[in-house]
Chain A
Amino acid sequence: MNDLTLPRTGETAAAPIATAPRRRRSLAYLQAAPLALVFLVFLVVPLLLTAVVSFWEYNEYAITPALTLQNYADLFDGCLSADLCTTVRTYLSTLKFVALTLAITLPLGFSIAYFLAFHIRSDTVRMGLFLLCTIPFWTSNVIRMISWIPLLGRNGLVNDTLRSLGLIKAPIEGLLYSDFAVVLAFVHLDTVFMIVPIFNSLARIDRSLIEAARDCGASGFQTLWNVVLPLAKPGIAIGSIFVVTLVMGDFVTVGVMGGQQIASVGKVIQVQMAYLQFPAAAANAVVLLAAVLLMILGLTRMIDLRREL
């Protein structure tokens, strides 16, 4: 009895071992398929369709398949003349917001991440403060924008305080619904995207490197500039990519904080969609995507994203 069954159990035990790698491999395909399918249907196909439709023709009533460059020609119409065309002006305006937002969020995000990573000694406190910075990220952006109205408005808290202090006589116009308000809101909403990746990079830095720099006689600033900053580069690049993408494609912040008066690339696309000018909107989207990808390409050269996780 035993003699008969033993080899058999040996066989059944051996069989799974032999087939395990192959079965696990095919299981991996099954496990990754739903996610891949979502990206295929809701990212790849839509982007391809956008590219295709950008070459179509349209009138007030319908869009028709064609192969025309008219939409792109319309987009850049008059761009070679001395006074720039609308498209270039819109991009310049959006790029200005990108530059200003980066110029503020980068040092701010780095300082906060540095403070959390190097100056806080208890892990629990660090985690608590880190959560404090990230929790607003989980609440509504629109509400966080509306929150500025009672502060920045004509009779808002800022104007009232300045007036009662006697610093100004008439309220400052243009605190709200202006470039200033837009940049303020971008900093308010997007600094967290800088803090998290930079913190992640800083947290990995081996503390003995900093001790070594100090032992070799480096000043605090020299350590920061020659040791910490180069090692924080991946985080800075990832954070910058987030900020660039968020600001370049934005239409909500510019709309709400700019009082619907300031142009942005995203807003142009939104308006064209509302007027059912799909091919024109698609052409705009293709140009926007190309612009964003070019900017990101520069940033990604610095890092290997996969290694950062």
Chain B
Amino acid sequence: MDRPRGFAFYGLAGIFCLYVLFLYGPTLTILALSFQGPSGGLTFPMNGVSTHWFAKLWEGVGVVDIWAALRRSLMLGLVVMILTVALAFYAGLAFRKGFWGAGLVFALAVSSLIVPSIVVSLGIGLEFRLLDDAVKALADATGWGLLQDHGTFMGLYSSALGAHLTWTLPFGLLIMFAVFNRFSPAYEEAARDLGATGAQTLRHVVVPILAPALVGVALFGFTLSFDELARTSQAIGGRNTLPLELQGLTTTVTTPEIYALGTTTTAFSALVIGTALGLTVWLQKRRARRALAGLRP
């Protein structure tokens, strides 16, 4: 492999550079344009540099309460993140031991990725509407006061949460598979031989070793949920998440305010990704340091 680099290398390197430019170029463009001067428009040239559009964004975008939407997306993202890490981790452990129906659950996870998002979204929307209809029918039939003013079960932490989990859990599970495939059972056997209980082995051996991977799953869980749009679209009640509001704004907002919004959300995602990657590196470094310390007499 260590032969001198030939034509193929430089050709492919060129393609790679162009692709990275293609990937990041547009985002950098709106990053620049979001600092457009107050009299500037949606395209170049820049009419001065200002934070005018960020200030306008801070005041709110028309009738849409963008900050409430951001808070909702944030909270939902955190809940999805925690559930994704917990459920995928335990399911990964279960798949390792093997159980009857493991193939079926795996097939479900894969189909959850493969079924088009709009179909999943529509199905969850229908499910909750039918559930609401059933409750209303029951209320009419029985006259129970408890059920009379039933609105809808659909909402951020019911239907939308479920819709997000169908998207984040398969990724989480696949990562756990990849991780457990490279995880030697010798560590657990050693812990058991030293008298650790199952819970102790998990807490003091398995989780610390897998910590960087779990951070990765958390990162996937949060960002996929924070930016999720297609699966949420039909499975959310009255109050929208941030991506849904953003999609609506693409047709109505015709000022650089939308770029300011884009820059803000991208910066937010970048912050989360940066924190997660930093955390992973830190965890690995700490482990390496401890391993070294353990080697010393």
> A167 at the A/B interface (Cβ < 8 Å)?
no
Q: Once the chains bind, are A111 and B233 in contact (CB under 8 Å)?
A: no
Q: Once the chains bind, are B120 and A27 in contact (CB under 8 Å)?
A: no
Which of B13, B95, B98, B122 is A281 in contact with, Cβ under 8 Å? B122
Complex alpha-carbon distance, A292 and B119, angstroms: 11
Least CB separation from A23: chain B residue: B198
Q: A39-B109, A250-B230, A273-B122 are in contact. Are A296 and B114 (CB under 8 A)?
A: yes
Tell me which of A4-12, A44-52, A82-90 binds B.
Answer: A44-52
User: Chain B binding site: helix, strand, loop or mixed by DSSP?
Assistant: helix
Interface centre among B93, B123, B198 (most CB of A within 10 A): B123
Interface centre among B13, B126, B162, B277 (most CB of A within 10 A): B126
Interface centre among B114, B259, B272 (most CB of A within 10 A): B114
Q: Once the chains bind, are A28 and B8 in contact (CB under 8 Å)?
A: no
Q: Once the chains bind, are A155 and B43 in contact (CB under 8 Å)?
A: yes
Complex alpha-carbon distance, A248 and B277, angstroms: 33
Residues of A contacting B230 with CB < 8 Å?
A: 249-252, 266
Complex alpha-carbon distance, A43 and B285, angstroms: 40
Q: Once the chains bind, are B23 and A133 in contact (CB under 8 Å)?
A: yes
Residues of A contacting B240 with CB < 8 Å?
A: none
Complex alpha-carbon distance, A292 and B102, angstroms: 25
Residues of B contacting A305 with CB < 8 Å?
A: 110
> A69 at the A/B interface (Cβ < 8 Å)?
no
Q: Once the chains bind, are A112 and B19 in contact (CB under 8 Å)?
A: yes
> B288 at the A/B interface (Cβ < 8 Å)?
no
Interface centre among B5, B219, B266 (most CB of A within 10 A): B266
Residues of B contacting A282 with CB < 8 Å?
A: 122, 126
> B165 at the A/B interface (Cβ < 8 Å)?
yes
Complex alpha-carbon distance, A135 and B8, angstroms: 26
Complex alpha-carbon distance, A32 and B277, angstroms: 28
Q: Once the chains bind, are B114 and A147 in contact (CB under 8 Å)?
A: no
Residues of B contacting A34 with CB < 8 Å?
A: 86-87, 90-91
> A36 at the A/B interface (Cβ < 8 Å)?
yes
Complex alpha-carbon distance, A24 and B262, angstroms: 49
User: Chain A binding site: helix, strand, loop or mixed by DSSP?
Assistant: helix
> A25 at the A/B interface (Cβ < 8 Å)?
yes
Q: Once the chains bind, are B177 and A309 in contact (CB under 8 Å)?
A: yes
> A275 at the A/B interface (Cβ < 8 Å)?
no
How far apart are A213's CB and chain B's nearest CB, in angstroms?
13
Interface centre among A138, A139, A143, A146 (most CB of B within 10 A): A143
How far apart are B2's CB and chain A's nearest CB, in angstroms?
7
Residues of A contacting B95 with CB < 8 Å?
A: 32
B: interface residue count bin: 35 or more
Least CB separation from B246: chain A residue: A142
Residues of B contacting A306 with CB < 8 Å?
A: 106
> A70 at the A/B interface (Cβ < 8 Å)?
no
Least CB separation from A268: chain B residue: B118
> B16 at the A/B interface (Cβ < 8 Å)?
yes
How far apart are B230's CB and chain A's nearest CB, in angstroms?
6
Residues of A contacting B126 with CB < 8 Å?
A: 46, 49-50, 53, 278, 282
Q: Once the chains bind, are A47 and B119 in contact (CB under 8 Å)?
A: yes
Encoded as 1 (CB less than 8 Å from any A CB) or 0, chain B from 151 to 190 comes to 0000000000011011001000110011001000000000
Q: Once the chains bind, are B243 and A153 in contact (CB under 8 Å)?
A: no
Complex alpha-carbon distance, A150 and B254, angstroms: 12
Q: Once the chains bind, are A43 and B118 in contact (CB under 8 Å)?
A: no
Q: Once the chains bind, are B269 and A138 in contact (CB under 8 Å)?
A: yes
Encoded as 1 (CB less than 8 Å from any A CB) or 0, chain B from 70 to 110 comes to 00000000000000001110110111011101100110111
Q: A46-B120, A46-B124, A136-B24 are in contact. Are A28 and B97 (CB under 8 A)?
A: yes
Q: List residues of chain A with CB under 8 Å of any chain B CB.
A: 24-25, 27-32, 34-36, 38-47, 49-50, 53, 108, 111-112, 114-116, 118-119, 121, 129, 131-133, 135-136, 138-151, 153, 155-157, 160, 188, 191, 207, 210, 220, 241-242, 245, 248-252, 255-256, 260, 266, 269-270, 273, 278, 281-282, 285, 288-289, 292-293, 296, 305-306, 309
Q: List residues of chain B with CB under 8 Å of any chain A CB.
A: 1-2, 5, 8-9, 12-13, 15-16, 19-20, 22-27, 29-30, 33, 42-44, 86-88, 90-91, 93-95, 97-99, 101-102, 105-106, 108-120, 122-127, 129-130, 162-163, 165-166, 169, 173-174, 177-178, 181, 198, 219, 223-224, 226-227, 229-230, 233-234, 243, 246-247, 250-251, 258-259, 261-262, 265-266, 269-270, 272-273, 277
Which 5 A/B pairs are nearest by Cβ-Cβ distance? A249-B116, A46-B123, A147-B26, A42-B162, A32-B94
Apart from A49-B123, A112-B16, what 13 extra A-B contacts exist at CB < 8 Å?
Answer: A24-B97, A27-B198, A41-B162, A42-B124, A132-B20, A139-B223, A139-B266, A150-B44, A250-B230, A252-B229, A260-B251, A269-B118, A273-B125
17 A-B contact pairs sorted by A residue (CB < 8 Å): A42-B163, A43-B108, A44-B108, A47-B120, A139-B27, A140-B226, A140-B269, A142-B246, A146-B250, A147-B26, A153-B43, A250-B230, A251-B230, A266-B116, A270-B234, A278-B126, A293-B114
